[in-house]
Amino acid sequence: MSFEEEESLEHTLLVVREVSIYKIPPRSTSGGYKCGEWLQSDKIWSGRLRVVSCKDRCEIRLEDPNTSELFAACFVHPGQRENSVEPALDSSRYFVLKIEDGQGKHAFIGLGFNERNEAFDFNVALSDHEKYIRREHEKETGETSNNESHIDIHPAVNHRLKEGETIRINVKPKPTSGTGMLSAAGLSGGPSGSAKPKTLGLAPPPSGTGKIRSPLPPPPNDPVAARISSSSLKAPNEDTRQTDPLSDFSKLEVHFYPLSPNLILYT
């Protein structure tokens, strides 16, 4: 295959307008890289990132946004993504790329995205390429297995009814003896109303011997309340003397006049 034919098979999966590239120190532990250790160093480059699918290989290209000049490239071979792209341990926006010059030399650089959604799209693009390679591999293996007369052990099952077949469904009749909510409450649910409704027992009303008291006492300076209280404190004999003027005859004066001698009395 010529170089022109190989270039025509390229497919761009992702383009990010601006990313940052950092020079990182050697890995301090076997656990991984931490961007907090090299983020304070000077940024060595910023530009455009492109993820390109080249048949089986995926390339991460760092290019100048104005001239499209290639700054560095990271090659992700099938099944070797962890060796070429490694996420940072302390941030989801930073990665470590293994760049190669095509002559057997390689180096590790830090890659940083400005937004988290850009880093998410970067991971999705790499995953899409892996799925594409897996599907192509399954197609090749599927054609080979068909040539070898492979028998499917899970044939499709036809659940459609044949001509003349019927389905019988048993449906329970609706109960008419009043087993529903009305009967549970003791009421008649039938149209004839033959069953007597169950009377509901109610508590008797409170006895009238108790006086209804006001929930709140009257204010201390209320003239009406003072008048009622003073009248209730009066003795009953005083009220009788005031209302009945004939109850006391001590003040009445009796005058007797002499009879005239000419007055004839008849019996």
Q: Residue 251: pLDDT band by 50, 70, 90 thresholds?
A: low
Closest CA to 39 of 5, 6, 88, 101: 88
Here the tokens at position 168 are 């019988």
Q: How much of the chain is in helix, strand and coil states, percent to nearest 5?
A: 25, 20, 50
Using CA atoms, how far residue 225 sits from 214, 219, 261, in Å, is 13, 8, 66
Closest CA to 133 of 60, 50, 83, 76: 76
DSSP 100: E
The Cα–Cα gap between 8 and 58 comes to 14
pLDDT beyond 50 at 65: yes
Total-model pTM:
0.51
DSSP 152: P
Contact 48, 60 (CB under 8 A): no
How much is the average pLDDT of 183-192? Answer: 52
Degrees (nearest 5) of the Cα angle 32, 34, 35? 140
Model pLDDT, residue 211: 55
pLDDT beyond 60 at 255: no
Here the tokens at position 101 are 């010059």
Closest CA to 19 of 79, 74, 63, 75: 63
134: CB partners within 8 A, 6+ apart: none
pLDDT in tens, 122-167: 999 999 999 989 888 888 887 544 444 455 545 566 677 778 888 8
Owner of token pair 């009953």: 236
Degrees (nearest 5) of the Cα angle 185, 186, 188? 110
